[in-house]
Amino acid sequence: MDSILVTGNGPLNGQIPIAGAKNACLTLMPATLLSEEPLTLTNAPRLSDIKTMTALLQSLGAEVSSLQDGQVIAMSSHNLTSQTADYDIVRKMRASNLVLGPLLARFGQAVVSLPGGCAIGARPMDLHVEGLEALGAEIELKDGYLHAGAPGGLKGAVHEMRFASVGATENIVMAATLAKGTTVLKNAAREPEIVDLVECLRKMGAQISGEGSSTIEIQGVDRLHGATHQVVTDRIELGTYMLAPAICGGEVELLGGRMSLVESFAAKLDAAGVSVTETQNGLKVARKNGRVQAVDVVTEPFPGFPTDLQAQMMALMCTAEGTSVLEERIFENRFMHAPELVRMGANIEVHGGTATVTGVEALKGAPVMATDLRASVSLILAGLAAEGETTVSRVYHLDRGYEHVVRKLEGVGAKIERIKGE
């Protein structure tokens, strides 16, 4: 298994290009199942999660080709052969469940494995099921699989979600595009990836309004057609690399970054003493002066502070002046990076969903282990700021969500290399 060796090396300077959003691409790809005509995505990120979604769509009979070094994904679902998403693929990646809504809408049936426990919490699918049932689907759990049917077709309905789940919003919106009549989804998630999905669905002929607000209205249509769509910038990759000059010093420009994608995160950085300014090509980040100050963080659905940046923010707080409290409200059990950071000399106490971090003058390099995607990159950030060498093992987690991490960080002066394992 490969690992990544990072050596603390002082300030970082230069530019980092930000890729298309993994989480947007993972919901845009299943949208191909809604139409017989081709759907082409540009600005796709080159990630193992995208390969997993490719394999899943191919297992359903979709044609999926990766062009231009993976940045373009051309898909066609004119000849689907299966409506079953197998456990073998779903267990690798929870986002596999996003085929449920589209399959049900187009074929009136779908069989999708439940994802099972995942390292950052239980992550059930009850909100997806409730929403699709409101549209008239009948869903049963058998042998670990959700068996969904809508023999008479889906019908528009008014439905209020108990919690603004991102995936459930995506599944329900996709399903409603082909339902008969109007669907009003209340307490919908407002994430930029949902706005991106709706923009793509609209290009395919869907009639949707209200995306980006908590009420989305979908007027069902008989069929959707082909489209080409550019994937939105990855706000989590953006936020992660914004932390690089914050934790190491220097000044880095994030190409393709937009303030509207990271407003609450940038506000926290500002309060911590890190300036974020818009440039013609993206966002520029630098410390305002000296050491970063401790700030408290509570993770919330968009537009709040994203849970997917909590681990990386914790790495910054480990070296900040003062004590910060990080409260994780989206997932239970999402502090597995904390004991690894402690191995690097951090001072962190975790009680339930709250971590109290007292900043230290300097972290020390150590061998550490990545436990999930965002945790792994938080350890790399910590390694960049630490004295000596840090080896992060199990980097397959990183490959799920960060393309060319070594190249991007080397480009701004970091000392980082990938060590090939057996």
Nearest distance, CB of residue 121 and ligand UD1, angstroms: 5
DSSP string, 41-66: EES----HHHHHHHHHHHHTT-EEEE
Give the residue, chosen from 331, 369, 379, 394, that forms a contact with ligand UD1 under the rule CB under 6 A.
331
- For the chain, how far is it from start to end, CA to CA, in angstroms? 6
DSSP string, 370-386: --SHHHHHHHHHHHHHS
Q: Which region, judged by CB under 6 A, interacts with ligand UD1, from 64-72, 80-88, 166-174, 261-269?
A: 166-174
Distance between CA atoms of 32 and 318, rounded to whole angstroms? Answer: 43
Q: In terms of CB distance, is 394 or 400 closer to ligand UD1?
A: 400
Nearest distance, CB of residue 95 and ligand UD1, angstroms: 4
The DSSP bridge partners found for residue 65 are 74
Coil/strand/helix, residue 132? helix
Q: Which of residues 103-132 bind ligand UD1 (CB under 6 A)?
A: 121-128
The DSSP bridge partners found for residue 355 are 326, 350
Joined tokens for residue 338: 């904390």
Q: Which region, judged by CB under 6 A, interacts with ligand UD1, from 165-173, 266-274, 277-285, 410-418?
A: 165-173
Q: Is 248 noted as a catalytic residue in this protein?
A: no
DSSP string, 332-366: SS--THHHHHHHTT-EEEEETTEEEEE--S--B--
Q: In terms of CB distance, is 122 or 271 closer to ligand UD1?
A: 122
Nearest distance, CB of residue 11 and ligand UD1, angstroms: 30
Contact 220, 50 (CB under 8 A): no
Coil/strand/helix, residue 409? helix
Distance between CA atoms of 294 and 383, rounded to whole angstroms? Answer: 19
Q: In terms of CB distance, is 49 or 217 closer to ligand UD1?
A: 49
Nearest distance, CB of residue 13 and ligand UD1, angstroms: 30
Q: Which of residues 385-404 bind ligand UD1 (CB under 6 A)?
A: none
Count of residues in contact with ligand UD1, rule CB under 6 A = 22
Q: In terms of CB distance, is 230 or 293 closer to ligand UD1?
A: 230
Give the residue, chosen from 163, 270, 279, 419, that forms a contact with ligand UD1 under the rule CB under 6 A.
163
**Could you tell me which residues come within 8 angstroms of residue 130 by beta carbon, excluding any fewer than 6 positions away?**
159, 161, 162, 168
Active-site choice (118, 200, 248, 318): 118
Q: In terms of CB distance, is 126 or 349 closer to ligand UD1?
A: 126
Nearest distance, CB of residue 346 and ligand UD1, angstroms: 23
Asked if the bond preceding 303 is cis, omega within 30° of 0, the reply is yes
- Reported residue count of the chain is 422
Q: Is 337 in the site for ligand UD1 (CB under 6 A)?
A: no
Q: In terms of CB distance, is 193 or 340 closer to ligand UD1?
A: 193
Q: In terms of CB distance, is 334 or 408 closer to ligand UD1?
A: 334
Give the residue, chosen from 105, 330, 406, 412, that forms a contact with ligand UD1 under the rule CB under 6 A.
330
Nearest distance, CB of residue 123 and ligand UD1, angstroms: 4
Nearest distance, CB of residue 22 and ligand UD1, angstroms: 7
Q: Which of residues 169-228 bind ligand UD1 (CB under 6 A)?
A: 193
Residue type, 325: V
State which H helix or E strand residue 418 sits in.
strand 415-419
H-helix segments, 183-262:
192-203, 235-248
Residue 421 burial (C-beta neighbours within 10 Å; 0-12, 13-18, 19+): exposed
Q: In terms of CB distance, is 140 or 417 closer to ligand UD1?
A: 140
Joined tokens for residue 262: 């990271």
Binding mask 140-159 for ligand UD1 (x = CB under 6 A): --------------------
Nearest-CB residue for ligand UD1: 167
Q: Is 26 in the site for ligand UD1 (CB under 6 A)?
A: yes
Contact 330, 299 (CB under 8 A): yes
Joined tokens for residue 276: 């974020």
Angle value at C-alpha 57, between 51 and 58, nearest 5 degrees: 85
Give the residue, chosen from 16, 25, 64, 166, that forms a contact with ligand UD1 under the rule CB under 6 A.
166
Q: Is 265 in the site for ligand UD1 (CB under 6 A)?
A: no
Binding site for ligand UD1 (CB under 6 A): 23, 26, 94-95, 121-128, 163, 165-168, 193, 307-308, 330-331
- Catalytic positions, written as ranges: 118
